[in-house]
Structures are given as structure tokens and as C-alpha cells.
Structure 1
Amino acid sequence: MRTTTNSPATTGNWRRAGGAALGAAALLVAGLGTAAHADAATANTPVTWTATPCSTPKHAGDLTCNSFRVTGGVTAFSKLRAAKSHQGATLTPHAAGASPTGFGPSDLQDAYGLTDAAANNGSGETIAIVDAYDDPNAEADLAKYRANYGLSACTTSNGCFKKVSQTGSTTSLPAADSGWAQETSLDLDMVSAIAPNANILLVEASSPTMSNLGTAVNEAVKLGAKFVSNSYGGGESSSDASYDSAYYNHPGVAITVSAGDSGYGAEYPAASKYVTSVGGTALKAASNSRGWTESVWGTSATDGTGSGCSAYDAKPSWQTDTGCAKRTIADTAAVADPATGVAVYDSYGVTAGWYTFGGTSAAAPIIAGVYALAGTPGSGDYPASYVYNAAGTSALNDVTSGSNGSCSAAASYLCTATSGYDGPTGWGTPQGLGAFTG
């Protein structure tokens, strides 16, 4: 389902990273170039990334995470900070950095019109994160992230943070896994960035099988979470309808699922008619009234947000597009392009420090956080319907450029952004809370 290493330039030119950066550095060291020339060179160095280890299944039947870790180049964050400080851009480190090199809470809140809501909403709500295996450093890494950005402490001792197994145990946890720990750090940091006043419940499945991850979803709901983020997926199967009823049919709970990172094509459980499927965008600062612009994240035939038609899941009543006889992916979207990636602090199994991540694994917890700011869903509601009720309004940023692959000319909206609904970004990205409120 996944490539291992990708080297796209943000302009769409494909080449291995490192040459421009090394060349600029050499000029400075040798005294043969000016700082201005070096900055110009490094500012255009393409971003490179690699799939996180949990994106490769270890066993038959495993689902995989939907995340990438940046390994080099100049991210959109670096360019934005350089422009604001009138200094040269800084290369994203190839190893852990001492400071963030991806978008942080204030950036994401500003981009999605959430600054006031993030400061004032979310208290008393619980957002659950479902991942596989144990991250022994989850709470400590979360503390580093939140402290760096001035967010309130979220700990076991103050009741904000809780980590349990898929059976609800706080002591009998799954085996640790450094690959899934990266995914866990990404998820925890994104819900913190969007909804810093909410409580966080981390539910760790024993392994990344459908039955274990689904059991973890049920446990999250059993423990009271009204918002459950899932950043994993796999191929569809004829069993999906039974998985729907067993694990994802929770009216009154906003269950978000990443749409996938392998370009055009359907994934499960993003295809479930009971969830909010979340596509991915490239997010960049702009001189428009919003201050930001977004396009579909789609950088190659194998990297980009998922979208498309389910082969098995029925179309929910609130979805009315005609290009798919069954469920269409996605419903909404948020940032996912690693070149415009988000800051994450992680320490388990890697050099402790700041990393930049992308993938629709970032988008799903962002949207879960937005739902939490908007308030508890109606008791009988499937909250994806809220987005459709707000279609075409100012509560959503309509993404109208970019594609994630090739699809039928008769239904090109399934893989290409257009005005209104399209597969890669649904009805658009959040602009405040209006599209996520019942």
C-alpha cells in the first residue's frame, strides 16, 4: 500500500534531495557564495520523506498507519517563518531537531478559523485516539509538545490524559512498537493543537488487525469518548459490512478516519458509511483574505490522499453525488502533505526531538479536534452529515485545485478538485465550527 521513500519538490519537479542543500552549504563554507545565494538555493530544496514503519504490515491481515516523516528539505513552515523573520530559510533536519520544523497549533488554528474556539471550547470533552501497540513515552512526549507551545498540561495525574489497552486496562498494555509510537505522537499532538482544552484518551490495540483496532474503537466509546480518531486503513473486503456493524456504528459519536496515503483508491474503514472520512491537502501561507491556500495533496501515482468509490459499503443517506453507486470518499479534509507538514515531538525508538510529519494520519485527528470544539454530537447523529448540511457555505474552505491520480473522465471529481464536492477533499476544509455542529 505504501512507497518507502519519496522525493517530491513542492513545485512538482522530482529529484533526490540533498544536492541543492549541500551545494549551498559548500558555497558558504568555502567562502565562494553569499548568504543570499545560499538562502535562495536552500529555499527551493525539495522536501523528502519516508513512510513511517507502521505503514508496512508485519503480518498478513494487518492494517497500516497513514503517515510519513520528513527527512530533509525546506518545508512550508520553514519558508513561512523565514518570510516573517526576513531571514533565510532553514533546512528541515534529517534527524530529530531541537526546535519544530513543521506547522504548530497557532498555524493550524489560524488556517482553519479556530483560534478563538481553541482557546474557549472543548473543556469536558474527551477525544479518543485509537492506535496499535504501546507507546511507552506517549505521555512524556505529549508533555514536551504542549509545553513548547504554551498549552496547558495534559497528564494522568490531572485527569486530562488516560492510556488504556483495548480492554480498558491501564496496567496490562500491549507490546511496545517504535513505528506505531511515531503515529501515536502525531495523533496526540494534532488533537492537542486543535482542541487543547479537551481530555485525551489513548486506546492501544493489541495489534493492527481489524478485530483488535475495532475492539479499541468500541472501548473508546464505552469509556465515554464522543470523538474517536483513527489514522489507519487497509484494502476493502466483502466483510466490511460486518465490520461496520461490529465496530463503527456508533450514532452520537464523531468517528474520523484517514482516507489513505496511496493516491486515488478506496480504503477501509474510511469507506464505512458511519464515519467521517478525511482527505488531505497541501496547506500554504498566502496573501489572500484567509491568509492561506490549499490544494489536493497528490504528489505522485503512489503518494497522495485517498479518495474514490467503495466497492462494498452502501451510500449513506446524506451523500448524494452520482459518480459512485456506493459510499464516496472523502467527506472533508485537512493538511496532509509532508511538504507542508506538522510539528511532532517523539522519542521512543528514535532520537528524541522534533520531527515533521504528513499523511492523512495528521488530517483525521485534526478533524476530530474540530468536532470536539463544536460540541457533543446529537445522540442519534452520524456527524459526517453535518458537513453535508453545511455544503457550499462559508463554514468550509472549498478546495478547487489539484488531483490525486487518474479516474474516469465521466466522474473526474472523484480524483480531481472542483468547485463544490470532490473525492479528495469532500466539501472542503474547516473554516470555523459551523460545518461540524449538529
Structure 2
Amino acid sequence: MVDSAGQPKTQATPSGYGPAQLHGAYTSQVLAPNKQIIAIVDAYDDPNILSDLNTYNKTYNIPLLPTCSSAVATSLTPCFQKLDQRGGIKYPAVDAGWALEISLDVEAAHAICQNCSILLIEADSASYINLMAAVDRAITSGATVVSNSYGSSEFSGETDYDTHFNHLGVAFTFSSGDGGYGVEYPAASQYVTAVGGTTLLLNSDNSYKSESAWSGAGSGCSLYGTKPLWQHDTYCLNRTVADISAVADPNTGVAVYDSIRYQNKSGWFKVGGTSLAAPVVAGIYSLAGGVSSGVQGDSLPYSNGSYLTNIHDILTGSNGTCGGSYLCTATVGFDGPTGLGSPIGISAF
């Protein structure tokens, strides 16, 4: 999640979880069963993203992604494509904070789904007008899953933007926020999967040990968003955030390679935030084969999820104080900071 200064949440140390740890936590599967295109929507340009992704892939010995020789939708093999919000290559200005965000989003998505094509759409700026143009471009370019790691405080009129996410057969993941209890848009849209955040602990063999609600994850009752039919919690009359969760705590974050100098350093960063959780969940949607035609993507964890088989129920941790305690404190079943919980494998999607 990019903060108010346009900067991802970072840890100074160049360590962190890699692909093996993410798969140990959430799914052993690394390949999608069919062609999947994960679109990453961000603002501004990262001119080094493909070379940085290659460095990441070589470091962890996972498949390289070549540049697409034609439109990503027509490619017969997995590839990487970068477009501006108009579908061309007139990329916007470089921004160091957003470049780190781009590296995080692209590398995390590829770490999870290693045969998915990656389509990076760079908006001209972080304005809603430009970001929504980038979202629209992702859809017209053939994306099956769209990962988004940005948001703002709610505002009257936010639901006017919901039409950009109202596409059956496509999953939209949005970070829930990094400021603790409170709701952000577009995570509050009824048409997206709002991804909360956890502190993830692993065993020495990289297997799952435990998760707790991360104190920075956004959650709560939306002021304006309509409650989806599949949400049944009773305290919120409107949309409740979040839906599902994944690792986000910067202290248990991931290693990200970014050669654009940021805060007086470049190279390996340890990064967290629900910016991380959103592309992780996007990757898992893709591993599951995407969303069937005629289905709204954010309904799937509610219809397919089971605490007996494919959802970790997260029982500890809090992100603040609130009126309805489940909205800010992890508890049995659904809660605000972690939603239904975190994925076990792909069958919840």
C-alpha cells in the first residue's frame, strides 16, 4: 500500500520471505492450469522493472518472463508486457516510491504464479481518473486478474467509480490499507476482493506455523459501499472490509529487488503492507484458474471457503479499537482485519 507520501511500507534490512516461503505458507502449487494474465495497476514509471524482475527470478531460481513479442492476450507462452494507460509505450515520469511498489507487486505476483503472464499498466499519476483509466486498460488488454495496491480515505461519490470493477469473470484484488482500523476506497467497493493483512510465522522447513492480524491492516464498515449478497456479518449495514488476507507485516515481509534508488538505497529491500497481500492473493486466484465467466470474483472465497479445508482462521491480533469488536480484532470466523482468513491452497478461489 502506497502511503500518503506515495511510499510503500518498508524495512531497511535486505532480507525477507521469498517464493519458497510464500508457497510454504499458502499453496504448494506454482503453475496455473490455464492461460492467466495478472494485470498490475500502479502509477508512474519503473524503467527497470523487467531487469529487476529478472534479477529476482535468477536469485530464487524461478522461471524468467520474457518480454511479450506481441499483445499479451495473443501470446502463446507466459510473458511480461508494460503499457501506459492508453495502451501504448509513452510511459509516465519515474517516481522512486512507486517504482518500489511496482517491483513489489510484479515480483510477488510472479513468485506465486510462475507461469502467469504479467501485464503492468502504468497510470500517468495517482489520481483516480488516471488509475481508473489504467484499470480499464487492463480489462481491454485481456487481464483475468487485476492486482491493485493503492487507496484513499472514503469520500462521497466513490461508488461512481465502481463501474470500473464491475466485470464478471475477472478478479480484482485491492489492499485494505496500512493505517490500521478504518476503511479505504477502492477496497470498499462491492465488486473487489479487499485483502487484509497478517503477521506470518513459518516453521524452519518453510511450512505454515501461524498468523495473527497485522496492526496496520485496514478494516471496518464502509460509509458508502453496498454490502455484497455473500457478506452476512450483522454489525455493518454497508460493505465490510476485509474479505480475505495474506502476509503484510513489514517485519515478516518479502524480499524485493528494486534498482531505482529510494531513501538513499537500491537493491534488496524488505517490504510489507497490504500492498504485498494484494498481489499474493491475485496470484492465488490465477493458480486456481481465474474466475469463471458470469461469476463475480470477490464472491468466491465466501462460496468456496471452508475453515476445515482451505482457509486459515486467524484468531489473534488487532488493528485498533472499534464499536463492533470483530471489525478490529481477529476472532473465530469472519473479522475485519483478516476477513475470512488466509488461503490454504487454491480451492477457496
Tell me whether the two structures share a fold, i.e. TM-score over 0.5.
yes
Q: Are 1:263 and 2:203 counterparts?
A: no
Residue aligning to 2:275: 361
Amino acid at match of 2:327: L
Gaps of 5+ in 2: 70-77
1:111 maps to which residue?
25
1:128 correspondence with 2:39: yes
CA distance in 1, matches of 2:86, 2:33: 26
Aligned mate of 1:403, from 314, 318, 331: 318
Matched with 1:42 is: none
The answer to whether the Cα contact below 8 Å between 2:147 and 2:172 also exists between their aligned partners in 1 is yes
Question: Residue 68 of structure 1 aligns with which residue?
Answer: 9
| Contact persistence 1:68–1:358 (CA under 8 A) | yes
**Is residue 283 of structure 1 aligned with residue 164 of structure 2?**
no
Residues 184-199 of structure 1 aligned to structure 2 (within 5 Å): 184-199=102-117
Whether the aligned pair in 1 keeps the contact of 2:24 and 2:206 (CA below 8 Å) is no
CA distance in 2, matches of 1:240, 1:256: 17
1:55 to 2:3 alignment: yes
Q: What is the root-mean-square deviation in Å for CA atoms of aligned residues?
A: 1.8
Partner of 2:309: 394
**Contact 2:201 2:210 survives alignment (8 Å):** yes
CA contact (8 A) 1:214 1:248 kept: no
Aligned counterpart, 2:81: 162
How far the C-alpha of 1:289 sits from its partner, in A, is: 12
Structure 1 residues without counterparts, runs of 5 or longer = 1-51, 58-63, 72-91, 299-303
1:434 partnered with 2:347: yes
Return the match for 2:227 from 305, 315, 335. Answer: 315
Equivalence for 1:201: 119
TM-score (ref. length: structure 2): 0.93
Name the SS for the 2:348 alignment partner: helix
Of the candidates 313, 337, 340, which is equivalent to residue 249 of structure 2? Answer: 337
1:197-219 CA distance string (max 9 Å, x none): 11000000000011111111111
> How far does residue 290 in structure 1 lie from its aligned partner after superposition?
5.7
Instruction: Give the aligned residue type for 2:24.
Output: D
Against the structure 1 CA distance between its residues 329 and 391, is the aligned structure 2 distance closer, same or farther, given a 3 Å change threshold?
farther
| Aligned partner letter, 2:291 | P
Q: State how far apart, in whole Å, the 1-side matches of 2:159 and 2:292 are.
A: 24
CA distance in 2, matches of 1:278, 1:251: 19
Which SS does the other structure have where 2:129 is aligned?
A: helix
User: Which one has a larger percent helix, Structure 1 or Structure 2?
Assistant: 1
Q: 1:289 to 1:214 in 2, by over 3 A?
A: closer
How do 1:243-258 and structure 2 match up within 5 A? 243-245=161-163, 247-258=164-175
Shift of 1:175: 1.1
Whether the 8 Å CA contact 2:19–2:112 is kept in 1: the answer is yes
In structure 2, how many angstroms separate the alpha carbons of the residues matched to 1:357 and 1:184? 12
1:232 is aligned to 150
What is the TM-score normalised by the length of structure 1? 0.75
- 1:297 corresponds to: 214
SS in 2 for 1:347: strand
1:75 aligns with none
Indicate if the aligned counterparts of 1:128 and 1:229 stay in contact, CA closer than 8 A.
yes
Q: Equivalent of 1:374, from 288, 307, 320?
A: 288
C-alpha distance in 2, partners of 1:283/1:341? 8
Q: Figure out how many residues of one structure are paired with residues of the other and give that number.
A: 338
AA of the residue aligned to 1:166: Q
2:61 alignment partner in structure 1:
150
Counterparts of 1:412 and 1:324, CA distance in 2: 12
- Give CA deviations for 1:77-121 in whole Å, capped at 9, x if unaligned: xxxxxxxxxxxxxxx3xxxx4xxx100000000111x22x21x42
Question: Distance in 1 between the 2:48 and 2:276 partners?
Answer: 19
Inter-CA distance 331–288: structure 2 relative to 1 (3 Å threshold): farther
| Runs (4+) off by over 6 Å | none
Query: Equivalent of 1:220, from 138, 142, 147?
Result: 138
Q: Distance in 2 between matches of 1:250 and 1:213?
A: 17
> How far has the Cα of 1:241 moved from its partner?
1.4
Match of 1:420 in 2: 333
Once residues 432 and 239 of structure 1 are traced to their aligned partners in structure 2, the CA distance between those partners, rounded to angstroms, is 37
| Structure having greater relative contact order (Cα 8 Å, sep ≥ 6) | 2
**Which protein has the larger Cα radius of gyration, Structure 1 or Structure 2?**
1
How far residue 157 of structure 1 moved from its aligned partner, in angstroms, is 5.0
Q: Residue by residue, what CA displacement relative to the aligned partner does 1:27-56 show, whole Å, maximum 9, x if unpaired? A: xxxxxxxxxxxxxxxxxxxxxxxxx9x523
Q: Deviations over 1:402-424 (max 9, x none)?
A: 0000001xx21000000100010
